[in-house]
Structure formats: structure tokens, C-alpha cells
Amino acid sequence: MTPRTLRCANHHFYLGVVILVLGACVYALLREGHPAWQYAAAAAGIVVTLLWGGSYLILRYTVDDAGIARRTLFGTRRIAWADIATARMERRETAPGIESKAVTLVSPALTLRLASELLDPDDIDFLAGEITRRQIPVETEFCQREK
């Protein structure tokens, strides 16, 4: 199997938000005549925005024959296919006409939840297919919830 990388579906949006907030913070820092706490708040805004935005821009999952690796701003964690005890799959309507899919992988060391709110729905379908192909026990199937 060729490794497949799953990235945050909205990473361009998060990049835009980071640029907008950073621009506002830099503008506030460059203006004169503000109290010291406003400069401190602008500097803190820059740091928090870089950490928040960086976490979404760097977030990615790599699916290969060995298992699934999650790369974040704070490091990489891996779950081997053999270590996954169960998988939970669900589909629900989050708003009228908007469907959400999620896959939760449970192992003794780590639980990963991958949802279509963050990843592309096709990537969630791909992962569901891998779970089926590898015969991992599934607690719930994709189903439409009653309203």
C-alpha cells in the first residue's frame, strides 16, 4: 500500500485567520500611545495565534501498511493496525443538510478520533475502507440518526 497523507481540509482557512490576526497584532504593536497592557496583549496574541494556527497547518495523518501516524505541532504518535482493539464509526446530521462522519480508533495506548469536521469526508471513507479491509472489530456502523 502506498502511504496516504490526510491533511486538515480547512488548512487554507486557518492560514487566512492566522495572517489576519497576526496583522492586527503587529498593527497594534506598531501604534504609539497605548498602555503597556495592550502591547502585552498584542504580543500574547501573536504567540497564541502562531501556536493555534501552526497546530492546524502541521496536523496530518499518514496511513500506511504499518498503521496510522498523527503528526502535530508537539510530535508524532503512531498506532499499528495490530494494536487497534476496536473502531467506532458514525455518521450524523450536524445541521440540516450537513452530514458529519467520524472514525474513532481505540488502542490500549492511544485513541484517535478523525472526523469530517476537520478532514475531507473522502479521507474518512478511505479510512473506513481500510478498517473493513483489515477486519478490525467495529462497534457501530455508519448510520443516519433519527431526528
Nearest to 124 by CA among 132, 116, 136: 116
Output the pLDDT for position 61.
Answer: 92
Q: What is the pLDDT along the chain (147 residues), one digit of tens a residue?
A: 789 999 887 777 777 888 888 888 888 888 888 788 888 888 888 888 888 877 777 889 999 999 999 998 889 999 999 999 999 988 877 777 778 888 999 999 888 888 888 888 889 999 989 999 999 999 876 555 455
Q: Is residue 135 left, alpha or beta, with left meaning phi > 0 and alpha meaning psi from -120 to 50?
A: left
pTM exceeds 0.75 for this model: no
- Rounded-to-integer distance, Cα 108 and Cα 25, Å: 43
Output the pLDDT for position 136.
Answer: 93
